Chain A
């Protein structure tokens, strides 16, 4: 019953250990996963995105592995890293303990020695690691994976941390799943009549639940790039598939719908019902924005609204973004600072939030999945405009 992937002579040499222990282990991992998923061969990738960067998520076990592995291996294609458990500069201000910080630093050093780019963001495509249409990549981080597949037109499976790292080291990944056109065709059509203001993340939340493992096709989906980011992140958090197909109104592109097995209609009132279900508390310890990390446009829009208002200080506020975006809009960041902490390198999902807060509000559909589980929070969903109103007057 053993059906194995075809390997080139060079790949066989790596598997045989002729290019060192680290590359051998990475190749073993790619081959084993390829065999499990029935891949025929390895294909070159143009970039990797690696998850498993926060001490909170990978723990002491992860540190031990990364430290050992980093002695024997280096990435061979562009590879960037997911958010850490803390802002590398303002960790104390966040309330992170020095013990957590020293463990986090060991992870940072290990990834640096592996040659992984320290972007520390779930939106690498906003920080320079942006694949082109048709490129094969090996990305972990479900929200980035779904954005890359659906909006950017790159091809990737939802990798785990170690498999993305192995792919980055070899520069290849096993050809299965969403690398194959046949698996990228839509199986379910979901028509959303109208998405009420601020509920785009919840539309993604519901689409993920309805789709399960099937690629959904959304007809007439009129969203900005930032809205696609929030929509896909929520979809990948509630669903098992990392891709959706869509056409915008007036789009001339024709999508092959011959593979559609089911058609579902979602209306605005269903989304409002879902919003009510996730409403949670009326007051919070923390308002957390930026899951996925805020883009420069989002930071500018929030700053524009908040500019002439004053903070209510009813709760702490986190605006989470990447170091690069942060550096690109200093004036707006200064405005946001009056209302809360503008954090880089981390977010509410992977920071040790459970040791700081109990009740957190967010406008993110993805955060509604992870705050109650990974973060042990009582989570409350609110559209961003409502959160802006709540933190200012």
Chain B
């Protein structure tokens, strides 16, 4: 899959990722002699950033951190490249003076330690060895309630999990066409009013990145005719979504749609 961001410092590199969910301070957070992460709060503590594609949301801490990255480089312990969600001046300055390729504007929550990543910083692009799958998720609303469907044991993924009306976007199909097709196939609805359409939301699950195209439809009654893909349906208060075992990202999609 290719992710597009913005060049902070040019160059290119390929290698294994080390991914931290927390902000990073190069001063005090990383040992300049070994490249090991020292930050107690970081889940990657003890691992080295040296020779890796170092991915973290953004920098924090002392402005001296720019120089610390330079020192890592002199000690031949610098990362191969840096990927940030949003660059701030300390890390950007460090990448430039240490000549480490750097890209920002990438959702690092989609990356995992161990991923093989190619960074082309001049183009601002990041390629990773993970498959992307495009699906639609339709939240169907009637009054104050929304429809959840429990996936049956016959479907290919997330058996027994609760979901909206969902399915793959097929070749040549727009996402709205796919959404209306799934509404017809899964719950027997030809007519529903499209109330909202959000931009694609991506979630990482194992070796797949799910690119979810979220839709909100209003229907006039609660009649539902399901097919083999589902074993149960419920009309729920949207606040209750969190109490269900759902497919990835469903509760965040619901709160963004409503």
User: Number of B residues whose C-beta is below 8 Å from A?
Assistant: 27
Question: Which stretch in B34-42, B65-73, B181-189, B198-206 binds the other chain?
Answer: B65-73
Question: Which stretch in A59-67, A110-118, A251-259 binds the other chain?
Answer: A59-67
Does A163 contact B93, Cβ atoms closer than 8 Å?
yes
A57 to B67: give the CA distance in the assembly, Å.
11
Interface string of A57-80 (1 = CB under 8 A from B): 111111011000100000000000
Residues of A within 8 A of B87 (CB): 32, 36
Does B97 contact A162, Cβ atoms closer than 8 Å?
yes
Task: Indicate whether A52 reaches chain B with its CB closer than 8 angstroms.
Answer: yes
Select one of A2, A25, A61 contacting B67, CB under 8 A. A61
Task: Indicate whether B214 reaches chain A with its CB closer than 8 angstroms.
Answer: no
Task: Indicate whether A160 reaches chain B with its CB closer than 8 angstroms.
Answer: yes
Does A52 contact B5, Cβ atoms closer than 8 Å?
no
- What is the CB-to-nearest-CB distance from B62 to chain A, in angstroms, rounded to a whole number? 8
Does A58 contact B67, Cβ atoms closer than 8 Å?
yes
Residues of B within 8 A of A59 (CB): 27, 64, 67-68
Interface string of A5-41 (1 = CB under 8 A from B): 0000000000000000000010011001101100000
Task: Indicate whether B92 reaches chain A with its CB closer than 8 angstroms.
Answer: yes
A25-B96, A61-B71 known; A35 vs B64 contact (CB < 8 Å) = no
Residues of B within 8 A of A33 (CB): 89, 92-93
Does A62 contact B97, Cβ atoms closer than 8 Å?
no
Q: Which residue of A lies closest to B72 (CB)?
A: A61
A2-B6, A25-B97 known; A64 vs B71 contact (CB < 8 Å) = yes
Does A162 contact B71, Cβ atoms closer than 8 Å?
no
Task: Indicate whether B32 reaches chain A with its CB closer than 8 angstroms.
Answer: yes
Task: Indicate whether B105 reaches chain A with its CB closer than 8 angstroms.
Answer: yes
- What is the CB-to-nearest-CB distance from B170 to chain A, in angstroms, rounded to a whole number? 28
Does B7 contact A28, Cβ atoms closer than 8 Å?
no
A25-B97, A29-B97 known; A161 vs B70 contact (CB < 8 Å) = no
Task: Indicate whether A1 reaches chain B with its CB closer than 8 angstroms.
Answer: yes
How many residue pairs at the A-B interface have CB separations less than 8 Å? Answer: 73
A2-B6, A33-B92 known; A58 vs B71 contact (CB < 8 Å) = no
- What is the CB-to-nearest-CB distance from A2 to chain B, in angstroms, rounded to a whole number? 5
Residues of B within 8 A of A61 (CB): 27, 32, 64, 67-68, 70-71
Interface string of B76-90 (1 = CB under 8 A from A): 000000000001111
Residue from B27, B32, B74, B97 with most neighbouring chain A CB atoms (10 Å): B97
- What is the CB-to-nearest-CB distance from B202 to chain A, in angstroms, rounded to a whole number? 15
Does A62 contact B6, Cβ atoms closer than 8 Å?
no
Near B by CB (< 8 A), chain A positions 160-201 give 160-163
A25-B97, A29-B96 known; A65 vs B6 contact (CB < 8 Å) = no
A25-B97, A65-B67 known; A1 vs B8 contact (CB < 8 Å) = no
- What is the CB-to-nearest-CB distance from A106 to chain B, in angstroms, rounded to a whole number? 14
- What is the CB-to-nearest-CB distance from B47 to chain A, in angstroms, rounded to a whole number? 21
Does A65 contact B63, Cβ atoms closer than 8 Å?
no
A336 to B87: give the CA distance in the assembly, Å.
48
Q: Which residue of B lies closest to A30 (CB)?
A: B96
A52 to B4: give the CA distance in the assembly, Å.
35
Does B66 contact A2, Cβ atoms closer than 8 Å?
no
Task: Indicate whether B151 reaches chain A with its CB closer than 8 angstroms.
Answer: no
Residues of A within 8 A of B63 (CB): 52, 160-161
Does A64 contact B74, Cβ atoms closer than 8 Å?
yes
A1-B5, A29-B97, A32-B96 known; A64 vs B89 contact (CB < 8 Å) = no
Task: Indicate whether B29 reaches chain A with its CB closer than 8 angstroms.
Answer: no
Residues of A within 8 A of B92 (CB): 32-33, 36
Does B89 contact A163, Cβ atoms closer than 8 Å?
yes
Does B9 contact A32, Cβ atoms closer than 8 Å?
yes
- What is the CB-to-nearest-CB distance from A73 to chain B, in angstroms, rounded to a whole number? 11
- What is the CB-to-nearest-CB distance from A286 to chain B, in angstroms, rounded to a whole number? 24
Task: Indicate whether B124 reaches chain A with its CB closer than 8 angstroms.
Answer: yes
Residues of A within 8 A of B7 (CB): 2
A33 to B64: give the CA distance in the assembly, Å.
16
A28-B96, A29-B93, A36-B89 known; A62 vs B5 contact (CB < 8 Å) = no
Does A1 contact B105, Cβ atoms closer than 8 Å?
yes
Select one of B4, B90, B105 contacting A160, CB under 8 A. B90
- What is the CB-to-nearest-CB distance from A36 to chain B, in angstroms, rounded to a whole number? 6
- What is the CB-to-nearest-CB distance from B28 to chain A, in angstroms, rounded to a whole number? 10
Does B64 contact A57, Cβ atoms closer than 8 Å?
yes
Residues of B within 8 A of A62 (CB): 64, 67
Select one of B32, B64, B88 contacting A52, CB under 8 A. B64
- What is the CB-to-nearest-CB distance from A38 to chain B, in angstroms, rounded to a whole number? 11
A33-B93, A65-B97 known; A28 vs B9 contact (CB < 8 Å) = yes
A29 to B104: give the CA distance in the assembly, Å.
15
Interface string of A315-338 (1 = CB under 8 A from B): 000000000000000000000000
Q: Which residue of B lies closest to A29 (CB)?
A: B96
Q: List 11 A-B contacts (CB under 8 A).
A: A1-B124, A28-B9, A29-B96, A33-B89, A33-B93, A35-B8, A36-B8, A59-B64, A61-B27, A65-B70, A163-B89
Nearest first, the 7 closest Cβ-Cβ pairs linking A and B are A61-B67, A61-B71, A62-B67, A65-B70, A160-B63, A61-B68, A162-B93
Add 9 more A-B contacts to A33-B92, A36-B8, A59-B67 (CB < 8 A). A1-B105, A1-B124, A2-B7, A2-B124, A29-B97, A32-B9, A58-B67, A61-B70, A65-B70
